[in-house]
Amino acid sequence: MTSMTTYKPHWIREDFIDFVGEKIHPTWALKKVKASIVNIQAVSPDFFKIQLRPNYNFNRGSFQAGQNIAVTLRLDGVRHQRHYSIVTILKNGDVIIAVKQQGKVSRALILLQLGAVVELSQPQGEFTLLNSPKPILFLASGSGITAIYSLLQKAVVQFQHRIDLIYFTRDDAFHAEIKTLALMHPHLKYHHFNTVEHKQHLSQQLLNKLVPDFEQREIYACGSAGMMKTALKIADKLAVKSSFHSEYFQIAMDEKAKAQPVQFLRSQQEFQAESNLLESAEQAGLRPAHGCRMGICNTCSCTKVSGSVKNMLTGEIDHGSNTPIKLCISQAVSPVVINL
């Protein structure tokens, strides 16, 4: 009896198809979202709007104001990924993001030539407008204005109730655009503070003065660590956290905490953690998977086997065993073992 072997076709790999496709056109890909840079425009000396033209894999219809995309580019042979809020999506499908000239990846992105290709994620994030009858208060500082401006553009059209924006800025990025919005939409009240000219910072007294009914509003905040810390304290004190919505772009660590020994169990690596666990591992020459570096995505999520870590966003300390953490927003406050 003759043995028969069933033929099983060998499917061509996706990465090979993408390799061939990009020879035809640099943004062609089977599933990946690739985009070419078509314009870079300064909105302040160190803040730039970048216009990206994604391929047909980008789902523009899923975008909600306030969301972000992960931008991936290769530097010195290593893939790096950062998240940037989407300012807007144009009618032709082009995506506008705003990038502050800080950090290795952001500086490299700003210096790319027109026509350069980067990889994008789909729109993501939960910092979006609620369909609420309450009036709105927006709080913004620094690069946080990107997400807030995205929300603001939608809010002035979608709602007719009162909207206030308090914006603390050193460089007046998007200031002219916001003034124009305020002129076009009388229900928007714009409170602008240039912190170079006036040393004004967020406080409960300022909120009481500018927006006396702020406790009855939906509050959306995005900005620097100092402003966010103050906003959270006010929200906690006045018990309005259910109406407080936030996104972080800078995360403050506890400078008083001592460096702690950290062990990556599976890779048998040990290092001293002086900052957050992700940066400390990188400083030790390790390369854990990561994405946004601000606790939005779950790329750096892992299991803490033992030890205590502080959540740098909430201030909560986790003493449990075998609990999930995110490396980018976790600071060791005791010796820690991680299942990596």
Reply yes or no on whether the pLDDT at 76 is more than 90. no
Last residue of a domain, one of 246, 272, 303: 246
Query: Considering the domain boundaries, does residue 127 fall inside one?
Result: no
Reply yes or no on whether the pLDDT at 1 is more than 60. no
Contacts of 96 (CB under 8 A, 6+ apart): 49, 50, 51, 52, 86, 87, 88, 89, 90
Query: Considering the domain boundaries, does residue 315 fall inside one?
Result: yes
Residues 101 and 143 occupy one common structural domain:
no
Tokens of 225: 């660590």
Query: Considering the domain boundaries, does residue 252 fall inside one?
Result: no
Give residue-wise pLDDT tens across range 180-192. Answer: 999 999 999 999 9
Higher per-residue confidence, 29 vs 213: 213
Tokens of 126: 């939960």
Query: Considering the domain boundaries, does residue 251 fall inside one?
Result: no
162-180 CB burial, b ≥16 within 10 A, e <16: ebbbbbbbebbbbbeebee
Query: Considering the domain boundaries, does residue 3 fall inside one?
Result: no
Reply yes or no on whether the pLDDT at 289 is more than 70. yes
Residues 108 and 167 occupy one common structural domain:
no
Q: Which pLDDT score is estimated for 74? A: 85
pTM beyond cutoff 0.95: no
Q: Which pLDDT score is estimated for 292? A: 65
Find the helix packing angle between 175-184 and 145-158, rounded to 10°: 10
Residues 161-167 have a mean pLDDT of: 97
Alpha carbon 15 to chain centroid, angstroms: 28
The whole-chain average pLDDT of the chain stands at 88
- Please give the Cα distance from 68 to 90 (Å, whole number): 15
Reply yes or no on whether the pLDDT at 314 is more than 70. yes
Q: Any idea of the CA torsion for 205, 211, 213, 215, to the nearest 10 degrees?
A: -60
Q: Which pLDDT score is estimated for 24? A: 65
Q: Which pLDDT score is estimated for 199? A: 85
Last residue of a domain, one of 246, 270, 303: 246
Reply yes or no on whether the pLDDT at 102 is more than 70. yes
Give residue-wise pLDDT tens across range 222-269. Answer: 998 788 889 988 998 998 888 999 876 556 667 677 889 999 999 899
Q: Which pLDDT score is estimated for 2? A: 45
Least confident range of 73-87, 179-193, 288-302: 288-302
Residues 166 and 221 occupy one common structural domain:
yes
Higher per-residue confidence, 137 vs 21: 137
Report whether 265 contacts 337 (CB < 8 A).
yes
- Please give the Cα distance from 333 to 329 (Å, whole number): 13
CATH number at residue 222: 3.40.50.80
pLDDT band at 146; cut points 50, 70, 90 = very high
pLDDT band at 9; cut points 50, 70, 90 = low
Give residue-wise pLDDT tens across range 17-73. Answer: 665 566 566 676 778 899 999 999 999 888 999 999 999 999 999 999 999 998 988
Q: How many angstroms separate the Cα of 182 from the Cα of each of 192, 195, 202, 240?
A: 12, 21, 21, 27
pLDDT band at 3; cut points 50, 70, 90 = very low
Residues 238 and 303 occupy one common structural domain:
no
pLDDT band at 91; cut points 50, 70, 90 = very high
Q: How many angstroms separate the Cα of 294 from the Cα of each of 227, 299, 333?
A: 16, 11, 19
Report whether 123 contacts 97 (CB < 8 A).
no
Q: Residue 85: which domain range?
A: 14-120
Residues 152 and 212 occupy one common structural domain:
yes
Report whether 73 contacts 118 (CB < 8 A).
yes
CATH number at residue 269: 3.10.20.30
Query: Considering the domain boundaries, does residue 76 fall inside one?
Result: yes
Residues 24 and 113 occupy one common structural domain:
yes
Least confident range of 31-40, 202-211, 276-285, 288-297: 288-297
Query: Considering the domain boundaries, does residue 9 fall inside one?
Result: no
Number of domains observed in the structure of the chain: 3
CATH number at residue 70: 2.40.30.10
Query: Considering the domain boundaries, does residue 88 fall inside one?
Result: yes
Residues 324 and 238 occupy one common structural domain:
no
Phi and psi angles of residue 183, each rounded to the nearest 5 degrees, phi first: -70, -35
Residues 103-128 have a mean pLDDT of: 91
Q: How many angstroms separate the Cα of 312 from the Cα of each of 111, 197, 217, 255?
A: 31, 31, 26, 11
Q: Which pLDDT score is estimated for 11? A: 61
Among residues of the chain, what percentage have pLDDT more than 90? Answer: 61
Higher per-residue confidence, 128 vs 82: 128
Residues 102 and 188 occupy one common structural domain:
no
DSSP state letters, 264-276: ETTTTEEEEESS-
